[in-house]
Amino acid sequence: MSSTDEDVNPYELLGISIEATEQEIKTAYRQRSLKVHPDRNRGNPDASRKFHELHQAQELLLDPLRRMALDAKFRLKEARKARYATFDAKRKTMVEDLEERERTLKKARVEKESEKKARWQENERIMEEGRRLREDRERELQRKEREREELSKKAQHAATTGLEPPELGLLDTTVRVKFTLSAHPTLAEASSLGALLTPFGPLDDTSIVLSLKPAPPKKPKRVTALVPFKQIGGAFAAVCASGRADSGLGDIEVAWAEGKEPELIGWLKKMGQLGGEGAATGKANLVNQEPASLRSPGATESKSSIPASTAPPPASDTAFSSFPSTFPDLSAAPPQPSAPTGVPGLDYESLTLMRMRQAERARIEREIREREAQEAE
């Protein structure tokens, strides 16, 4: 029998006395094992355990040495019980109290060791976490330092060469369109207004905002709209064609959404790529490839790298290869609307920028409405 089963009395388990002979042990085992055999008690989950205990009890009692040790242990227990029986109540209470104190001290000692070990493990974990955080902070500081150095180098390079274009603002590709509804009744919808401005460049049709104001007394009803282009070239061409009947914008005022010319247009004029103030074409100073900062957020990037001096004019259904070449020749006949192209997929960054643009347009539209209400009063 295992050490956990030593408290089980094999004599009581087999139903025999401590003076039983070897034959009596075997007979008692055979009789009791037949009653609890697993094959005869298939529905009893404890049958196997009881049968195993009977088998171990038989093996223990049939081993002379083990039985002798067991008998000595039982006799010792009986002698101890007899001594305890003669003790008076006070002495018995003192012995039990002493044993309880020993058990309590032992338990406290074990708990103290466990608490000490747990505290040491927690300290190690905190030290490791602090070490990891310190390393992460150092790596982050090094990364920011490298970024600052790179930005400083780029700024110095741009300052010395003057070739670095400014960043494209959220509304640099958006124009503000104003017209009277009586003169252009067919432009009361965003789709019709988009079809009118599509010849100047691809539009973000889903973000066009129209504002129809009640007409003041003795004044025609006016319409104000915010139209976002996918490239700043289309927005610049539309502003240059403002009020020109040969471009389809007679009696239509087209201006920048923020009321001022974007910094990128001024930079291009400074670089001589627009041919002067208010020029309609910039084909005399074409660049080989449009910088990424010249496109509005979410617009499709051009893959053309052919020099503008030798490249043929871009087809109406393809993306523009470079910024200055996107300006239409306003002295010629108005271009035909291009076929709609597939809308490129938006990643998370482009979607966030688009929402920021929409929020900025909503703010400008609100300011326009408030300003027109004040003018009407």
Give the mean pLDDT of 185-211.
Answer: 84
pLDDT at 32: 87
pLDDT at 332: 43
Alpha carbons 59 and 54: distance in angstroms, whole number: 9
Fold of 3-86: Helix Hairpins (1.10.287)
pLDDT tens, 4-41? Answer: 445 678 888 888 888 888 899 899 999 888 888 888 88
pLDDT at 326: 45
Q: How far is CA 82 from the centre of its chain?
A: 76
Q: Is the dihedral of CA 118, 120, 124, 130 positive or negative?
A: positive
Alpha carbons 241 and 335: distance in angstroms, whole number: 12
Q: Using only C-alpha atoms, what is the Rg of the chain?
A: 47
For residue 372, give the DSSP letter. H
Would you say 319 and 342 are in contact if contact means Cβ atoms under 8 Å apart?
no
Query: Is residue 127 pLDDT above 90, yes or no?
Result: yes
Query: Is residue 126 pLDDT above 70, yes or no?
Result: yes
Query: Is residue 293 pLDDT above 50, yes or no?
Result: no
Centre a 10 Å sphere on the Cβ of residue 235 and count the other Cβ atoms it contains: 29
For residue 282, give the DSSP letter. -
Distances (CA, A) of 194 to 84, 176, 360: 107, 13, 20
Reference 357, options 128, 232, 170, 175; nearest CA is: 170
Rounded to two decimals, the pTM is 0.37
Helices (H), 37-88: 47-62, 64-86
Confidence of residue 302 (pLDDT cuts 50, 70, 90): very low
pLDDT at 341: 39
Alpha carbons 332 and 281: distance in angstroms, whole number: 11
The residue ranges of every structural domain in the chain are: 3-86, 101-164, 174-299+318-333+348-376
Centre a 10 Å sphere on the Cβ of residue 28 and count the other Cβ atoms it contains: 20
Would you say 241 and 247 are in contact if contact means Cβ atoms under 8 Å apart?
yes
With tokens 């496109």, the residue in question is 295
With tokens 């305890």, the residue in question is 84
Alpha carbons 138 and 128: distance in angstroms, whole number: 15
Give the mean pLDDT of 216-233.
Answer: 79
Confidence of residue 276 (pLDDT cuts 50, 70, 90): very low
